Structure 1
Amino acid sequence: MKKLLLATLLLLGIVTTASAQLPKVMLKSIDGKSVSTDTLSNNGKPFIIDFFATWCKPCNRELTAISEVYEEWQEETGVKVIAVSIDQAQNINKVKPLVDNHGWQYEVLLDPNSDFKRALGIQTIPYVIVCDGNGKIVSKHNGYTEGAEEELIEEVRKLVNK
Structure 2
Amino acid sequence: MIIDFQDETNEVTKDHKELIEKLLVFAGSKEGVKEDGEVSITFVSDQQIQEINREYRHKDQPTDVISFAMQEEGDGEMPIYDDKQPILLGDIIISIERAKEQASDYGHTLERELGFLALHGFLHLLGYDHMSEEEEQEMFQKQEAILQEFGLKRDGKE
Q: Which structure has the highest strand share of the two?
A: 1
Normalising by structure 2, we get a TM-score of 0.30
Tell me: higher relative CO, structure 1 or 2? Use CA pairs within 8 A at least 6 residues apart: 1
Normalising by structure 1, we get a TM-score of 0.29
